[in-house]
Structure formats: structure tokens, C-alpha cells
Amino acid sequence: MPATRVPTETIMDALTVACRAPSLHNSQPWRWVATERGVDLFADPRRMIRATDSTGREALISCGAVLDHFRVAMAAAGWDTVVRRLPDPDNPLHIACVDVAAAPRVTAQQKARADAILLRRTDRLPMSAPQDWDGLARALGDAAQRASVQAHPLADDARGALSEACHLAETMRMYDSGYHSELFWWTADFVADDGIPRSALISAAESDRVDVGRAFPVTGHPERRGEVEDDRAGILVLSTEDDSRESVLRCGEALSAVLLDATISGLATCTVTHVTEVPSGRDTVASLVGTTAIPQVIVRVGVAPALAAPPPPTPRRPVREVFEMNRGAPC
């Protein structure tokens, strides 16, 4: 791809959209640097959640999601992108180089995917079952496979076992003060441009109706979606053949694709990772979906009531805090 100087305003506009990507506790562990050819993506060690994500695996998944979101946003703006993943073996924080060139055209599908970034929310409330879950799971699996990631739907008769694994993962961390301190920090009342606001969490009664989800500090707001007695969202597990950094990064890209495809289909989603943070939980999930691959992320996909208000958007840091002008930097 020939080098193309992209207007700074275009990059910043695309990053404003791309940084709506999901991340662990909305920590947004990324920073971007402009280059002569496009941008570089780096992990930001200052924003990694150490007790919860001691290996940085989830930060890498988050960076994969924001990388794919950026490519979607640039495509909708009329730019093609080529990615070199993990380009510097001496700098593990250097996640990707993204070269940019003008695209010949913009399709309606590319615009729809960018719109989906702004529509997507993490929905922790109980959901109804999606219609034709088997067909939908296959379609979402195809989206994941484009990033060389496997996607396995959970069978209905395995849901109880997954729920037990969720509770066991929470129990194993019951006395982990570092984990709980981080959890309270990222859900505090003073959340401004990162973290999870209390409005995006669920009450104790609502939590009782969701069998697959992380236990966050409960809130006291009125119970919602009373018409949905128990969560019946479909469960999709994203797995990789190995635990290499590139595989984990690609899993984040696949997660982005799955979430956007589900959003375009009018479905609600919630990413669940506390089970796969625990080695025994990953083994259990793998056995439940019948794979020898390594589970990285669980995604709930369901239907929110038509008249229900969507969850409010979670805050994001201003783009100028995550973007640096340094066009002369080599890549």
C-alpha cells in the first residue's frame, strides 16, 4: 500500500468513534501515535488492571477490539487500512502499525458497521432469547473466523454448568482484596471519562435473573425488565488455538466483529470475561463447548424489550488524551 498522508482531523474523528470499543472495566488501555503512513497502536501500561488481569491478556483483547473498531471507522470514512500486528519484538507494548490509503468507494455495509459502533452498549440486564439462535450463532461465528478465531455456541443443557462455573470463579476471588479494590475503583460514583458508571450496573434483584455475568457492586435503582423472568440470551464462546499474543490480539478483533454484527441485527450484547480469567474456568468452558482450543471471551447475545430504554453510553476519554502527533516516527 503506498504511503498516504491522512488529514489529522480524519484520524481524530475515526479514533473518537473507535475508542467506543469495549475494554475490561472500561479501562481503555490504549494510546495511538500518528505516523507518516497512518497510526501506531500501543498498549498503555498505566491503564492495565493488574489484580484482575495480571498477564495483560485482557488488555490485549481490548486493544484488538479498538484496532478493529478503528479499521471500521476508517473504512466508513473512505480509507483502506493494512495492519502489521506486533511489529516490534523488543517492545511488547507496540500492538500494531496501521497503514492507510484512500479507498475507491464506501459501501452501505461499511457505513452500517460504523453506525453500529455508536449504537452498541454493554447490556448487563436479562435478555430474551434471540430467534433462530443456531443460524445466528453460525453467522457470528463466521465473523469471528475471519480473524482466525473459533466461535462456539453453548448448548442449552450446558448452561447450568456454565452458571456454576461463573459462581465458582467469583468464589475463588472472594478474599482477593486487590481484585475487589479494583472492582470498586472502576465502578465508583466519581466515574468521569472511564470506568463503569453505576447507571450501567444492575441491582441485586436483576443480577439474580442473570446466570452468566460478573458480580459487580450492586446498585439500588428500581428493578428493570420485569417482563423477562430469567436471562435467555444465547451464549457464544470465542476461543483461540493457542495463547500467543497474536492469537489473543486477534480474538479482540473477532470480538469487535461479533459485537458489531449482532448490533446490526438489532440484538443486545454483553461481554463476560471473569470466568476465563481463572484457569479452571477456562478448562470448564472448553469442556462445555467441546473444544481443545483456549476460551478467551464469552458473549451473551439476546433481545432487549422493544420499548425498553437502551443502557446509557459509558464515558470515554477525550481523543486528545489517547492520541499523539508524531508523524516522523518510523514504523
Same domain (yes/no): 161, 297: yes
CA-to-CA distance for 107 and 130, rounded, in angstroms?
28
User: What secondary structure does DSSP assign to 40-101, as a single string?
Assistant: EEEE-GGG--TTT-TTSHHHHHHHHHHHHHHHHHHHHTTEEEEEEES--TT-TTEEEEEEEE
Backbone angles phi, psi at 193, to 5 degrees: -130, 15
Query: Which residue segment(s) compose the domain that 62 sits in?
Result: 8-118+317-324
| Pair (266, 221) in one structural domain | yes
Q: What does the DSSP assignment read for 143-160? A: HHHTTT-EEEEPPGGGHH
Residues 252 and 168 in one domain: yes
47, 184: one domain: no
Domain with residue 25: its CATH number is: 3.40.109.10
Q: Based on the fold, state whether residues 167 and 267 are members of the same structural domain.
A: yes
Region of residue 70 (left: phi > 0; alpha: psi -120 to 50; beta: else): alpha
Q: Is residue 69 a part of any domain in this protein?
A: yes
Pairing of strands 38-43, 30-34: antiparallel
Q: Residue 202 domain-assigned?
A: yes
**Is residue 197 one of the residues assigned to a domain?**
yes
Q: Are residues 114 and 137 in the same domain?
A: no
> Angle 245-264/133-145 helices, nearest 10 degrees?
140
Q: How far apart are CA 61 and CA 308, in angstroms?
A: 30
The Cα 179–Cα 183 span in angstroms is 6
Give the span between the Cα atoms of 189 and 208, in whole angstroms: 23
Q: Are residues 187 and 106 in the same domain?
A: no
Instruction: Going residue by residue through the chain, which has 331 residues, state the pLDDT in tens, using 9 for 90 and above.
Output: 445 578 999 999 999 999 999 999 999 999 999 999 999 999 999 999 999 999 999 999 999 999 999 999 999 999 999 999 999 999 999 999 999 999 999 999 999 999 999 999 999 999 999 999 999 999 999 999 999 999 999 999 999 999 999 999 999 999 999 999 999 999 988 768 999 998 889 999 999 999 999 999 888 778 899 999 999 999 999 999 999 999 999 999 999 999 999 999 999 999 999 999 999 999 999 999 999 999 999 999 999 998 888 888 899 999 999 999 875 444 4
Number of domains in the chain: 2
The whole-model pTM stands at 0.95
Other CB atoms within 10 Å distance of the CB of residue 46: 8
> 133 near 127, Cβ under 8 Å?
no
